[in-house]
Every structure is written in structure tokens, then in C-alpha cells.
Structure 1
Amino acid sequence: MPDETQLATEEVEEATAPEGTGASRLEEEGDIAADYLEELLDIADIDGDIDIEVRNGRTYISILTDEETDSLANLVGEGGEVLDALQELTRLSVLSATENRSRLVLDISGYRDRRNVELAKIAGDAAEQIKAGSASVPLEPMGAYERKIVHDAIAELGLESESEGEGAKRHIVVSAAE
């Protein structure tokens, strides 16, 4: 639940944003995405609540349920692959409706939060290997969203990271800062 300061800030951003830009554009993006996702959930006969939040210049959409169901787990898929595909389809739905590219982030049952904790641990483990004398540490392949999180975590630890490889084999290599 956002606090009063956050709500007031969002109201000011919405009031001062030109039509179709800023917070109002992101809210419109969230509404379009939520409608699209509600239709998908109805088609799949899956119960879930959709929560929309605008923060840091992005729309965050979460699908939540009172009970953890296999259906929602299936929407995440192994390693978040289905979730990433749903996020991309949702972004395409927004693009189709608004003619604007979207950077919205979709989460299902808190998967992204749990994965972010894992990614921070992966970054920390790589940092420990560098401090122990490894020249570089290649990490497992991951999608662009997860690579961004790891790159940011590595930078905060004072190290360097670079993405290498193509397609499904694209991964991060961590090294000491020069």
C-alpha cells in the first residue's frame, strides 16, 4: 500500500503531466495491460487479482491470488520463461493500443521479488570469487531484465560486468574494476 507522500507525489505528477505523457500515460498503460491480462486469465479460467503500481517511471503489474495455484505457477514457467513471454505479449498489447513502446514489468505471485533476491546472491557470490582471486566469473545465461538487475548489483559492489553471447546463451561475465 503506497504511503500518503507517494500518493501525493503521483497526484502532482499526474496533474502536471501533459496529456498522454508522464504518470497519466503510465496509468493508461497499466489499465490497458490489466484489461489484456484479465481477458487472458478469463480465457484460461484462472482466478487472480491484478494490482497496478506506477513508480520510478515504470508501470508494475502484479497478478496475485489468495491461494498459490498450479495455474499461476504455470504462468511463471520454469525459470520465469512463461512470465517473460506474457510480459512481452502484454507490452505488445499496450503498443497496439497506444502506439507507444512500454517498459512495464509483469509479476506473478511475487516471483520477480523472489528472483531478485536470488540474483543479488548470484552477484554477491561472483564478487566473492573475484575477491578470492578469480580474474573473471561467467554467470548463467539469463534474460535482459535479469541481466540488468545483476549488472546494477555488480556495479554497486564496485566491480565490472559485461554481457556476452547471443540469444538464449547471453550471459554476464563479472570482473574486477580496472
Structure 2
Amino acid sequence: MAETAPDGGDRVKRLEAEGDIAADYLEELLDIADVDGDLDMDVDGDRAAVSIVGASDLDVLVGAEGAVLESLQELTRLAVYRETGQRSRLMLDIGAYRQELRKNLVELAREAGDEVKESGEAIKLSPMTAFERKVVHDAVAEMGLTSE
């Protein structure tokens, strides 16, 4: 009989179950929308991560500045909540949009951080979504700076 960490094994199983529920929901949605795409599931830290990949027409699911993606993520989280009764922090990515966005935001944060270190003056960035703010805060913290 294999033993699992009291907390870790159960947590991973719960997150994998969230990913399965999300994937089922998204598969139905893709069928209804008549959009092709493959689903990849993973556990990324303390959240389930689901990605829709492999189709050329995924831009319609991302929308302008990721607005449709954000909405689909919230709907998917609600589908998980409906099944589990627990709030989900699931992260949805479509066509590597968030992956590319994260890369660009880290670059922006590093450039801003370098400028702050050089000038000693605070910099104000454009308004961002919660996801974008978290990426920037983390990148700036890695540079030994603080952000608001």
C-alpha cells in the first residue's frame, strides 16, 4: 500500500479532478461552438491549469485583449464549483495566449524595474487584470523591488 503526503496527494487529486471537470465542460463548449481544439490539463502550483491548443481558429475564443478568454475561465470555474461545491482557482489558457502574455509582461516589468533602479523614481503602469498584476508583481519582486 502506497502512502501519500497527508496534504499534498489529496490536493493534487482534487486539482486533477477540477481539471477533468473543466475539460469536460470545455469539450462540450467547443462542440457547441464548432471549434476544433485539443485540451491539455496540468497542475500548476496550487491550481489546475487547462489549455486549449492545436487549432487555427482559437482567436475567437481569446477575443480582444483576452476578454473572451477571461469570461470562459470564469464560466469554467463556475462549472467546477457547480460540481464540487468548492471555489476553483483554475487557470485557462487558449492558444498559448496567457503564456505569451506572461512572457511580455515579465519583459515589461524587468524594463520598468531597471528604469526604477536607474532613476530612483516610481513608475506607473497601465491598468491590468488580476492575472497581469500578479505576473508583474512577481517579476518586480524577483528584482528586489516592491510594487503596489
Q: Is TM > 0.5 for Structure 1 vs Structure 2?
A: yes
Give the Cα separation in 1 of the matches to 2:65 and 2:24. Answer: 26
* Percent identical residues: 52
Question: In 2, are the aligned partners of 1:53 and 1:61 still within 8 Å (CA)?
Answer: yes
Query: Structure 1 length normalisation: TM-score?
Result: 0.76
Q: Show the counterpart of 1:116.
A: 102
Correspondences of 1:71-86 after superposition (within 5 Å): 72-86=58-72
Match of residue 20 from structure 2: 31
Q: Which runs of 4+ in 1 moved over 2 A?
A: 15-18
- Higher RCO structure (Cα 8 Å, ≥6 apart): 2
Aligned match for 1:126, one of 112, 122, 126: 112
- Matched residues, number: 146
Which structure's residues are more often strand, by fraction? 1
Q: For the residues of structure 2 that align with 1:142 and 1:21, how far apart are their CA atoms?
A: 34
Q: Could you tell me which amino acid in structure 1 is paired with residue 32 of structure 2?
A: I
Change (3 A) 1:128 1:92: same
Which secondary structure does the structure 2 equivalent of 1:161 belong to?
coil
TM-score (norm. length: structure 2): 0.90
Report the 3-state secondary structure (helix = DSSP H, G, I; strand = E; otherwise coil) of the residue aligned with 1:138.
coil
Match of 1:42 in 2: 31
- Residue 56 of structure 2 aligns with an amino acid whose one-letter code is E
Aligned equivalents of 1:131, 1:91: Cα separation in 2: 39
Q: CA deviation at 1:39?
A: 0.9
Quote how far apart the aligned CAs of 1:17 are.
Answer: 5.5
